[in-house]
Amino acid sequence: MFWNIIHESAYSFLMNGRSVKHHMDMFKKIQSHRSPRPKVDLSHGHSIAYSHSVTTRLMDVLDANGRGNVHGGVIMRMVDEAAAIVAIKHAHTGVVTARIERFDFLAPAYIGNVVSVHCALDYVGRTSMEVGVEVTAEDLFTGEVRHIASSQVIYVALDEHGKPTPVPPLVPADAEEAARIEKARARREHMKKIEEELAKLQNE
């Protein structure tokens, strides 16, 4: 009964012509703020440090799962949002999530913890960008910081027509950045081979 009421309210809200028009107008307004887009200088690359970011949020009861810990989906959303910021900053244009290459939950986060999402580019292709992510949870009372998740997310930069568009190169600022990029390049080549083998097996 309760769900029927919710469902009917949502349905009538969506079917109300004025509400739909209002929302379409809102999306057009948001898009108009972003166009025309500035021309991206592809000859000028950026380092990993240029777009590196840390996003932090206090976990509250609305973030809980049935066990009373932080819901995995909350962490995944934080990761996708934080990593996208890195890709957008590097590309100077909008991006879409093309793939979650890995997502490892290593330990639970608890309500009251401060969750921090540390993101930095690993690798940049022609139009795609891989962002490496480490997630920590801090207990503010004890100061204990735990590594709770790791991820690698691939974004593709889009032009104003929604088509993949080239991004500036990733130029290492120092030996540490160069080593990170080389490691990611080798890992991507390895993954590509594994995928080709899997595709072959599936077609057998």
Ligand X SMILES: CC(C)(COP(=O)(O)OP(=O)(O)OC[C@H]1O[C@@H](n2cnc3c(N)ncnc32)[C@H](O)[C@@H]1OP(=O)(O)O)[C@@H](O)C(=O)NCCC(=O)NCCS
Which residues form the interface with ligand X (CB under 6 A)? 96-99, 125-128, 154, 156, 164
Q: Which of 140, 130, 84, 131 is nearest to 109 (CA)?
A: 140
DSSP track, 63-81: GB-TTSBB-HHHHHHHHHH
CB of 170 to ligand X, least distance (A): 11
CB of 76 to ligand X, least distance (A): 12
Q: Which of 42, 24, 27, 11 is nearest to 159 (CA)?
A: 42
Q: Which residue is nearest to ligand X (CB)?
A: 125
CB of 127 to ligand X, least distance (A): 3
Neighbours of 129 (CB within 10 A): 26
- Closest to ligand X by CB, 113 vs 151, is 151
Q: Which residue has the tokens 């795609």?
A: 128
CB of 124 to ligand X, least distance (A): 7
Q: How many CA atoms lie within 13 A of 188 on its CB side?
A: 19
Structure tokens at 105: 């939950």
- Closest to ligand X by CB, 10 vs 96, is 96
CB of 128 to ligand X, least distance (A): 3
- Closest to ligand X by CB, 21 vs 77, is 77
- Closest to ligand X by CB, 70 vs 124, is 124
Contacts of 155 (CB under 8 A, 6+ apart): 83, 84, 87, 91, 95, 96, 97, 98, 128, 129, 131
Contact 127, 154 (CB under 8 A): no
- Closest to ligand X by CB, 108 vs 125, is 125
- Closest to ligand X by CB, 87 vs 137, is 87
CB of 106 to ligand X, least distance (A): 24
Number of DSSP helices (H) and strands (E) in the chain, helices first: 5, 5
